A and B are shown apart, each in its own frame.
Chain A
Amino acid sequence: MISVKTSQKIAKTALWIAGFSTVAILMLVIGYVLFEGLHVVNWEFLTEKPRKMGSQGGIFPTIAATIYFTALTLLIATPIGVGAAIFLTEYTREGKVTRIIRFGTEALAGIPSIVFGLFGFAFFVILLEPITHGWSLISGALTGATMILPTLVRTSEEALKTVPASYREGSLALGATKWQTIVRVVLPSALPGIITGVILSIGRVIGETAALMLTLGGSLRLPESVFDPARTMSMHLYLVAMEVGTKEATEKAFGTATVLIITIFIINTVANQIMKRFIAKSS
């Protein structure tokens, strides 16, 4: 029989090991990718076109496509997400309507991205082809927008809830209408929280691949309008690693992975900084 003290010691040690294993796994994944990829990333890699299906040359068109795709997705999703959050926090009490809306948002958050892909393919690529020109930036962005909507609604709602009721009462007491109060008082004070949510969604959009395989087209040419097909960095990584698959292609895939990881790291850091200031200010 192990004494109480020994078992306590064993358990504590095991938990410390678990905590550090989690960090070790992260370091292993990131460390290995950077180790294999960092030497591939240079000015030419970032500014040149890919050659031979991506096994040579750079990734410039995919960087541009990632930026266009992300901007377009957020442009579509942010107004809707923030609008939904304003409605949920400012216009309703908990009840039947909010229950339905919350059910929809939660269900949407759980749907796998490949199912979003099927939906985007059937709806935006095939049915709305005359408008979206089939596989295109706009078809991908509309699909992507539906995917990040739950995160945007949730984070914006939380930001709006931190605005003290006294702000609203003060504004209303001065004779402002509800809408004026929301636009001039509530939104400005919730803005850092909302921006944090938007920045965090950028991370999700950049990493998205499965849904884009069915909606974005995958062309390596630099898109000239929202109706052109495109290929983001994540898609490029997959196609180069899996479908080209040679040794030099794998090297380029690691280069792309490195650019992706560094981008995500910067996004997380910026979001955390804004959040920290927001919390410091509001408390």
Chain B
Amino acid sequence: MDYKVKEKVYEKILLFSAFISVITVILIGGFIFTEGLPLIKKVGVIDFLLGKEWYPTKDIFGILPMIVGTFAVTFGALILGVPLGVATAIFLAEFAPPRVSKFIRPAVELLAGIPSVVYGLFGMVIVNELLMHIERTYLVNILRPEYQRGYSVLSASIILAIMILPTVINISEDAIRSVPQEYKEASLALGATDWQTIYKVTIPAASSGIIAAVVLGMGRALGETMAVIMVAGNTVAIPDSIFAPVRTLTGNIAIEMGYAAGDHVKALFATGIVLFLIIMLLNAVASFLGKRGVSQS
């Protein structure tokens, strides 16, 4: 074969490999929409999204409890995880001596590498037992008995907070490091202290990057499945307390897919559609913020 023809063929093969990710995204969207959309139409968008009852055996499919549950554990995770993550990022970028950061960075990397089922197991055995002890010792007269088992919004939030730390730390640290040195020098030259410079100059300048970090952490928390089903209790009910057991959208799919049949399977794909759309929206926000961060600096 002529070498020119060969070169062209290789190029086409590479182009095709590059497009596989795009094709996969389209296929993923295509499959979950074709499987799930008919059911949403049958039940009605409003009844599906805002229905409070989920009885697959009676063909009642409302996922509001799971939507509320997903956002409850996600915001819980952000409240607990973001301050610690951003503070660690500031510490690594601005204060940590090389000897100390050499120690923290691999720790963060390892934290990111631990499988989610291991976090789930840790949560089940340590966090939940501890919470149950607190609930049964100090809150025994205040909480309903079902709320005294440890499995709760709070325990899911704690585990998710740990799991989003690496994302929040790494991306915020990059954002803080990309603030031009001149900004800091100008502030210090005007007589500001290190800390004044950090919270009046560095953090505002890095804010869009830090927000992007939070949004990506949020995406990670929203999409997490295994660790959450191991600690959250998975009861289908709108949580009315941080001690209430809760089920998320991801958990709904993972728990019921094993034995579902007929419309029930379609309803789980429909749950996947809602999850897919939420994540796509978040990604769009994150990439918009990321771009703004780049063009500013």
Residues of A with Cβ closer than 8 Å to B?
A: 4-5, 7-8, 11-12, 14-16, 18-19, 21-23, 25-27, 29-30, 32-33, 36, 79-81, 83-84, 86-88, 91, 100-101, 103-108, 110-119, 121-123, 146, 149-150, 153, 177-179, 203, 206-210, 213-214, 234-235, 237-238, 241-242, 250, 253-254, 257, 260-261, 264-265, 267-268, 272
Would A18 and B87 count as touching, CB distance under 8 A? yes
Would B25 and A107 count as touching, CB distance under 8 A? yes
Interface flag for B53 (CB, 8 Å)? no
Q: Inside 8 A of A179's CB, which chain B residues have their CB?
A: 6-7, 10
Would A122 and B107 count as touching, CB distance under 8 A? no
Would A123 and B88 count as touching, CB distance under 8 A? no
A-B contact pairs, 14 of them (CB 8 A): A7-B195, A11-B199, A83-B17, A104-B22, A104-B24, A108-B21, A110-B280, A112-B224, A115-B223, A149-B21, A207-B113, A209-B115, A237-B115, A241-B230
Q: Which of B28, B120, B258 contacts A119 (CB 8 A)?
A: B28
- In residues 81-106 of chain B, which contact A (Cβ within 8 Å)? 84-85, 87-88, 90-92, 94-96, 100, 103-104, 106
Q: Decide: A101 near B275, CB < 8 A? Known: A33-B121, A113-B223, A265-B110.
A: no
Would B225 and A113 count as touching, CB distance under 8 A? yes
Would A241 and B115 count as touching, CB distance under 8 A? no
Would A253 and B121 count as touching, CB distance under 8 A? yes
Would B275 and A114 count as touching, CB distance under 8 A? yes
Q: Which of B20, B229, B230, B257 contacts A214 (CB 8 A)?
A: B257
Would A241 and B121 count as touching, CB distance under 8 A? yes
CA distance A115 to B198 in the complex (A): 40
Q: Inside 8 A of B122's CB, which chain A residues have their CB?
A: 29, 32-33
Q: Inside 8 A of A250's CB, which chain B residues have their CB?
A: 125
Q: Inside 8 A of A149's CB, which chain B residues have their CB?
A: 20-21, 24
Q: Which of B23, B84, B193 contacts A4 (CB 8 A)?
A: B193
Question: Closest chain A residue to B31 by CB distance?
Answer: A122
Would A110 and B219 count as touching, CB distance under 8 A? yes
Would B103 and A23 count as touching, CB distance under 8 A? yes
Q: Inside 8 A of A237's CB, which chain B residues have their CB?
A: 115, 117-118, 121
Would B114 and A80 count as touching, CB distance under 8 A? no
Q: Decide: A87 near B116, CB < 8 A? Known: A153-B21, A179-B7, A210-B225.
A: no
Interface flag for B37 (CB, 8 Å)? no
CB A216 to nearest CB in B, in angstroms, measures: 12
Q: Which of A21, A29, A114, A268 contacts B225 (CB 8 A)?
A: A114
Interface size on B, residues (CB 8 A): 87
Would B84 and A87 count as touching, CB distance under 8 A? no
Interface flag for B111 (CB, 8 Å)? yes
- Since A15-B91, A237-B118, A268-B113 are in contact, a sample of 7 more A-B pairs with Cβ atoms closer than 8 Å, ordered by chain A residue number, is A22-B85, A29-B162, A101-B21, A104-B24, A106-B283, A122-B32, A177-B3
Question: Closest chain B residue to A83 by CB distance?
Answer: B17
Q: Inside 8 A of B224's CB, which chain A residues have their CB?
A: 112
Q: Which of B3, B23, B276 contacts A115 (CB 8 A)?
A: B276
Q: Inside 8 A of A121's CB, which chain B residues have their CB?
A: 257
Residues of B with Cβ closer than 8 Å to A?
A: 3, 6-7, 10-11, 13-15, 17-25, 27-28, 31-32, 35, 84-85, 87-88, 90-92, 94-96, 100, 103-104, 106-111, 113-122, 124-126, 162, 165, 169, 193-196, 198-199, 219, 222-226, 229-230, 250, 253-254, 257-258, 268-269, 272, 275-276, 279-280, 282-283, 286-287
CA distance A84 to B229 in the complex (A): 35
Would A123 and B27 count as touching, CB distance under 8 A? yes
Q: Inside 8 A of B126's CB, which chain A residues have their CB?
A: 32
CA distance A26 to B194 in the complex (A): 29
Would A88 and B18 count as touching, CB distance under 8 A? yes
Would B32 and A119 count as touching, CB distance under 8 A? yes
Q: Which of B165, B196, B279 contacts A110 (CB 8 A)?
A: B279
Q: Inside 8 A of A4's CB, which chain B residues have their CB?
A: 193, 196
Would A112 and B121 count as touching, CB distance under 8 A? no
CA distance A249 to B94 in the complex (A): 46
Would A118 and B116 count as touching, CB distance under 8 A? no
Q: Inside 8 A of A209's CB, which chain B residues have their CB?
A: 115-117, 225-226
Q: Which of A27, A79, A253, A254 contacts B17 (CB 8 A)?
A: A79
Give the interface centre of A36, A122, A267 by most chain B CB atoms within 10 Å: A122
Would A238 and B120 count as touching, CB distance under 8 A? yes
Give the interface centre of B7, B22, B90, B111 by most chain A CB atoms within 10 Å: B22
Q: Decide: A112 near B250, CB < 8 A? Known: A87-B15, A209-B226.
A: yes
CA distance A115 to B28 in the complex (A): 8
CA distance A260 to B110 in the complex (A): 12
Q: Inside 8 A of B286's CB, which chain A residues have their CB?
A: 110
Would A103 and B22 count as touching, CB distance under 8 A? yes
CA distance A119 to B29 in the complex (A): 8
